[in-house]
Amino acid sequence: MSLLNIFKNGLWNEHPIFRLLLGMCPVLAVTTTAENGLAMGLATTFVLVSSEIVISLLRNVIPARVRIPSFIVVIATFVTIVDYTMMAFAPAIAESLSIFIPLIVVNCLILGRNEAFASRNTTLRSIMDALGMGVGFTWGLVILAAVRELLGTGEVFGFTILGEWFPTWNVMVLPPGAFISLGVILALLNQLIIWREQRIQGVK
Amino acid sequence: MKDNIKMVLVLTSIALMSALVLTGVYEFTAPIIEGHAQEAIARSISEVLGQIEDMEVLEIEGKEVYKAYRNGELVAAVITEASGYGGAIQVMVGMNLEEEKILHVNVLEHRETPGIGTVIEEENFTKRFAGLAFKDSYRQDVDIISGATVSTRAVITAVERAVEFIQKHLGDEIQLENRGDL
Amino acid sequence: MENLLLIFAGTVLVNNFVLAQFLGICPYLGVSRQVDTAFSMGMAVTFVMTMAAMVTFFIQNYLLIPLGLEYLQTVSFILVIASLVQLVEIFLRKVSPVLYRALGIFLPLITTNCAIMGLALLIPREGYNFIEAIVFALGAGVGFTLAIVLMAGLREQLEMSDMPQALRGGAITLIMAGLMAMAFMGFAGVIGT
């Protein structure tokens, strides 16, 4: 696979949220506002890229039997760096994401990519993989968060989009709204895929 | 055997590197984080007490009490909490000790339902406490916001606790000062 | 005692780990096809949660805080949880093969289950003492089991029904979870102050 294809892979074909259903806890928990979604996406991308760089560099040094604990320590280190950096320089966002920043450490996406990709590939390829997955994860979070913020408060990124006339659906920013909006988005995307496949088969 | 040694060596050195890096990150960010916390408290104190001078921080029963003077009158602020809908609600209450009145109430931390319980943050709710006397019954004088009964009642409880705490611990101080004036 | 009951009931119903706090979503979506496997998963999570709550409580209060190393919390908690899961696995295999057969396959999944790590991180933030921490862990585990078993019951019924293809799998599970979360919000009024 070429470098570009590795990058593009995470954007749609193996999209972590919509195709693989990975890392669902932060996806549902922090997507109350588009800003939170974006911050979470960027934080996860940083951890993903840095850990894949380190793991791919160390891939021939780490013995197979201590692979998982080594990965966990590396990931947890970068997570703590993000945690403290955000608390210092973006305290408001750090507070609204609260425990979901340290919980990046158990995001199955990160351990999964390190285990499946970075431990078997060169650093350059791993960076492309991490960037693709990170960007994919981030746009997924932002889309979901924007939908919830728009319907729940009439705003996106804090800017009013829907005017006074719109009766805001408060439930969208509450826990049930997270499940339902992600479920509906998933169903719509599935339907798009089904239609596309039907069209391709029709052409044949 | 050789494998085992390598295993231990690799894991130990990764852990050591990690601890080293994190110590550096912590040393660098800790003062900034501490600064934010201090700033937040300072901002809240000036919100609940207004223009003050000669502020003193007292440690009473593990709580920090901020005592100061406003226009020559003794005022104090303290942080108390009570449990609301989603967990503890932290409230800072500013009081005028000489007139025995509440000056202003500020909701610091809470995890109430967005769009419902969050009304407790709004000026429209917190201003209902301003000017109430210590002996008033807040349960009667402060209207509950319908739909957010639990959250608003928790704030009222926290304010009651603050007034009680300050009366218990700083009540004597006013009498002493008044005597000094005579 | 009343306080402990309140923590327990509050964690099971009001602040349900899965439905209100979004912790443990991966197994909730992944291992909820059949009621009996869901129940076993719930039991395994409850067991590991209670153990993890105890161990991380000691690490936090007798190691990290006295040494001023709170910034190593994330690293040490995740390592401890991972080794704990390994130990439980070895122990169960030796001592109770029956239990191992029932719970064993879920154990590796539990390491990256954010419900366990989330619990460990929440205990110091809530300022619970040792007993409260254990009750909190039990409540979290029971709440998780309740949510996952209910979902498995629904999904067993759903297998028989004729559904649009686009809704199958993740989509309908999430929508049902949303309805369940709405129902659980009703408990908040029951167990208030």
Per-residue pLDDT of chain A (204 residues; tens, 9 = 90+): 788 898 988 888 888 888 888 888 889 999 989 999 999 999 999 999 999 999 999 999 998 888 888 999 999 999 999 999 999 999 989 988 888 999 999 988 999 899 999 999 999 999 999 999 999 999 999 999 999 999 998 889 988 888 788 888 888 988 999 999 999 999 999 999 999 999 988 876
Residue B103 confidence (pLDDT) above 70 = yes
Using DSSP bridges, classify how beta strands B53-60 and A159-160 pair: parallel, antiparallel or unpaired.
unpaired
CA C179 from centroid of its chain's CA atoms:
20
Q: Does B97 touch chain C (CB under 8 A)?
A: no
A114-136 burial by CB neighbour count: b if 16+ within 10 A, else e? beebbbebeeebbbbbbbbbbbb
- Asked if C74's CB is within 8 angstroms of A175's CB, the reply is no
- The tens digit of pLDDT for each residue in B26-54 reads 999 999 999 998 898 899 998 888 888 88
Q: Does C172 touch chain A (CB under 8 A)?
A: yes
The number of distinct structural domains making up chain A is: 1
* Minimal CA separation from B112 to chain A, in Å: 11
d(CA B26, CA C70): 10
Give the domain ranges of chain C.
26-185
- Asked if B10's CB is within 8 angstroms of A153's CB, the reply is no
Residue B179 confidence (pLDDT) above 60 = no
- Asked if B21's CB is within 8 angstroms of A153's CB, the reply is no
- Chain B residues close to C72, C-beta within 8 Å: 19, 22
- Chain A residues close to C117, C-beta within 8 Å: 102-103, 105-106
- Chain B residues close to A91, C-beta within 8 Å: 33, 36
- Asked if B10's CB is within 8 angstroms of A66's CB, the reply is yes
Q: Dihedral (C-alpha) A180, C146, A100, A129: value to the nearest 10 degrees? A: -70
Would you say B127 and B133 are in contact if contact means Cβ atoms under 8 Å apart? no
- The tens digit of pLDDT for each residue in C53-92 reads 999 999 999 999 999 999 999 999 999 998 898 888 888 8
Instruction: Kindly give, in sequence order, each residue whose CB lies less than 8 Å from that of residue B8, ignoring residues fewer than 6 positions away.
Output: none
- Residue A137 tokens read as 């994860």
Quote the strand ranges of A37-187, DSSP E.
Answer: 155-156, 159-160
pLDDT value, residue C137: 96
pLDDT value, residue C119: 95
Using DSSP bridges, classify how beta strands B53-60 and B63-70 pair: parallel, antiparallel or unpaired.
antiparallel
Q: Given the structure tokens 């008044």, which residue do they identify?
A: B178
- Asked if B22's CB is within 8 angstroms of C71's CB, the reply is yes
pLDDT value, residue C193: 40
Q: Given the structure tokens 């509906």, which residue do they identify?
A: A184
Write out the residue range of the structural domain in which residue A128 sits.
Answer: 3-203
- Chain A residues close to C24, C-beta within 8 Å: 25
Q: Cα-flanking dihedrals φ and ψ of residue A153, to 5°?
A: -130, -10
Which segments in chain C show pLDDT lower than 70? 189-193
pLDDT value, residue B25: 95
Any idea which of A52-66, A151-165, B97-111, B125-139 has the lowest mean pLDDT? B125-139
Give the domain ranges of chain B.
46-181
Query: Percentage of chain B surpassing pLDDT 70?
Result: 94
- Asked if A188's CB is within 8 angstroms of C74's CB, the reply is no
pLDDT value, residue B22: 95
- Given a contact as 3+ CB pairs under 8 Å, which chains touch A? B, C
pLDDT value, residue B182: 46
